[in-house]
Structure 1
Amino acid sequence: MANNSNKIGVVGTGVIGNGWIARFLAKGYNVVAFDPAEGAEGNTRRLMERIWPTLEDMGVAQEASMDKLKFVNTIKETVEDAAYVQENVPERENLKKEVLQEIDEHLKPEGIIGSSTSGITATTLQEGLRNPERLIVAHPFNPVYILPLVEVVGGEKTKKTVIEQAKALFTEVDMKPLVIHQEIEGHVADRLMEALWREALHIVNDGVATTDEVDRAITYGAGLRWALMGPFMTFHMAGGDAGMRHMLDQFGPALKLPWTKLVAPELTEDLKERVIEGCESSGQGKTVAELEEKRNEFLVKQLELVSDYWPLFNKTE
């Protein structure tokens, strides 16, 4: 699919939008981008320069080039003749609908529209579109140019063929599309992360542990296991030879104990400052760009390990 005439449109070039740009460029696509924010193009091009060595380490297409990125001044120019358009504007429903309607107006009939929304359903975003059947949620994870997961969710009016075409496109750019067949706010991965995030805030707020201690609890414990197997397979192994069957019999009753708090704590100024100061202290004076470089180096190595050691990782569904 990727060739010199193929065009991907990207609307919104913040952290996620730029991640999509990098992934598509690395796989040899032509990318046309639009963002009305001042300095957007410069920010994107500087990022591409900075992360291109990482992309090359991961493996870029023979025809891949940063020169295949073009910024334009309107949404119409961005989406005309595009095979696929990824929308990444801020998470405000009215704004997203307005932008998606303009994309829909100018995109060719066979083009597909994906939204990076982390919480709004595809059915909601389809409201007001002339061609709602070609809209999907395509929710990736930061950094998009390294992490392969993309949650693909259709709305009530999305055609099944659109889902299949999107899966094929994402697979071609070395992503792992996870098709979610039932819409729910927050999709799947964000809901899981949000539950852990709420509990982490409670632990800090109640003085049980600091932000650094919470991070270490995950980094040196559950996080290492989850990187390879996820929560269900991790608990399956906790059951010994009988696996999940024994684990549920043995530890299932403990699920009724009030260990966790499902409702988030009030985000007071005191809690905010404790979280902010804790993160800045853990960063040891390094800039976010410096931390990103270390993170990216680690993720590339980790991704190689996961691919080598866990065959289920290669499944797309």
Structure 2
Amino acid sequence: MKVAVLGCGLIGVSWTALFLVHGHDVAVWDPSPTARDGVADRIALPMAQLVELGLGKGRSRGRLISCAEPEEAAQGVDLVQENAPENVPLKRALYTRVDAAAPVDAIIASSTSSLVWSDLAVGMTHPQRFVTAHPFNPPHLMPLVEIFGRDPATVSRAEAFYQDLGRRTVRLRRDAVGHIANRLSSALWREAVNIVADGIADVAEVDAALVHGPGLRWSVVGAHMAYHLGGGPGGMAHYLSHLGPSQERRWSTLGKPVLTPEVCDLLIAGVEAEAAGRSVAELEAERDAGLIATIKARDIS
């Protein structure tokens, strides 16, 4: 297959590595020639990580093709993966260009993290072939892809494509800002910010509590299943009948923090203290090493 990657930032480069390792030719485009020309060097690390995980084993590598215009990248492709900034007019303008250039049966997929299909598809000539396909950063390591589209056949084709890349796809039943995972993440971070702002604990303690408590459990079972198991032999029914009121009491105390300058200063200082002098690149390397080890342990690659 041939895939177009539009936007060669963090997400686009990660997608590119994943596509190439699985044998797909990838035509990349970015409005910045520097970003476009730097893809070959920037994919080296994620591709090495994918090899370490054994992804794409037995497949020959795809070809990387740099394109000066999005129309050029979209020609002859099976799927377009768009990774432009979260700006509706900008994305719509880009879709207008690739909608005319891509084969009529090609899927156009957006990596948007918060925008919705119904806003993005406005003005498309072939909206039935458009889907939102939101990955979790970094896409080459994190298996999740959240998909929404209005045409069931297109959604099924998109699911088959991402599943062939070793991804775990989930379908949304309707449009939702932030999809599923980012809504969950935002809800949790809101309370994490509230805990810091309210003086309950500092940034590092909040992160440690999450990593060594709910985060560890959630990496094995989801939120609903965790509470089902929390109900003992009676499962979710027992939990809701006996502990539901205590859950509601906790909900009633959750905060709605505001990112005032003072709260922002607390978060920035707290993260800097937790980082303990490590650069973003060093922290990313530690994160990726942990993700790789977790994926190997769970055998979910």
Calculate the TM-score normalised by the size of structure 1: 0.89
Name the Cα RMSD after superposition: 1.7
SS of equivalent to 1:142: coil
Q: Which residue of 1 aligns with 2:123?
A: 128
Moved more, 197-206 or 288-297: 288-297
In structure 2, what is the Cα distance between the partners aligned to 1:306 and 1:248? 30
CA-CA distance at 1:282 after TM superposition: 1.4
AA partner of residue 218 (structure 1): L
**Per-residue deviation, 1:244:** 1.3
The one-character-per-residue Cα deviations of 1:49-74 (angstroms, maximum 9, x if unpaired) are 22332111111433443x72122110
- What are the ranges of 5 or more consecutive residues in structure 1 without an aligned counterpart? 1-5, 309-313
Query: What is the number of residues matched between the two proteins?
Result: 298
Q: Which of 166, 171, 184 is matched with 2:176 structurally?
A: 184
Match of 1:166 in 2: 158
1:105 pairs, out of 100, 112, 115, with 100
Q: CA deviation at 1:43?
A: 4.1
Q: Is 1:254 the equivalent of 2:246?
A: yes
Query: How many angstroms apart in 2 are the aligned matches of 1:130 and 1:52?
Result: 35
Q: Secondary structure at the match of 1:228?
A: coil
Q: Which amino acid aligns with 1:186?
A: G
Structure 2 residue matching 1:243: 3-state secondary structure? helix
Q: Which residue of 216, 232, 251 maps to 1:224?
A: 216
Larger deviation: 70-79 or 265-274? 265-274
Secondary structure, counterpart of 2:26 in structure 1: strand
Superposition deviation, residue 38 in structure 1: 4.8
2:74 alignment partner in structure 1: 79
SS of equivalent residue, structure 1 residue 174: coil
In the alignment, is residue 211 of structure 1 matched against residue 206 of structure 2?
no
Aligned 8 A contact 2:53 2:296 in 1: no
Match of 2:91 among 90, 96, 105: 96
User: Counterparts in 2 of 1:114-125, with a 5 A limit?
Assistant: 114-125=109-120
* Deviation for aligned residue 1:23: 1.0
Q: Distance in 1 between matches of 2:2 and 2:167?
A: 18
Instruction: Report the more deviating stretch, 167-176 or 96-105.
Output: 96-105
| Deviation for aligned residue 1:16 | 1.3
- 1:15-26 equivalent positions in 2, closer than 5 A: 15-26=10-21
> Contact 1:28–1:60 (CA<8 Å) still a contact in 2?
no
Aligned to 1:298: 290
- TM-fit CA distance, 1:136: 0.3
Deviation (angstroms), 1:46: 2.8
**Structure-2 separation of matches of 1:20 and 1:176:** 15
Asked if 1:49 is matched to 2:44, the reply is yes
> What is the distance in 1 between the residues matched to 2:103 and 2:83?
20
Give identity over the alignment, percent.
34
SS in 1 for 2:31: coil
- 5+ residue gaps, structure 2, are none
Runs of 4+ deviating beyond 3 Å? 62-65
8 A contact 2:14–2:46 mirrored in 1:
no
One-letter code of the match for 1:259?
Answer: T
Task: Return 40-49 or 72-81, whichever deviates more.
Answer: 40-49
What displacement does 1:41 show? 2.9
Q: 2:259 aligns with which of 254, 267, 288?
A: 267
Task: Verify the 8 A CA contact 1:7 1:32 in the aligned structure 2.
Answer: yes
Distance change >3 Å, CA 285–CA 64, structure 1 → 2:
farther
User: Are the equivalent residues in 1 in contact too, given 2:14–2:139 (CA < 8 A)?
Assistant: yes
Output the CA distance in 2 between the equivalents of 1:175 and 1:115.
16
Cα drift, residue 169 of structure 1: 0.4
TM superposition shift of 1:305: 2.7
TM alignment of 1:129-168, pairs within 5 A: 129-154=124-149, 158-168=150-160
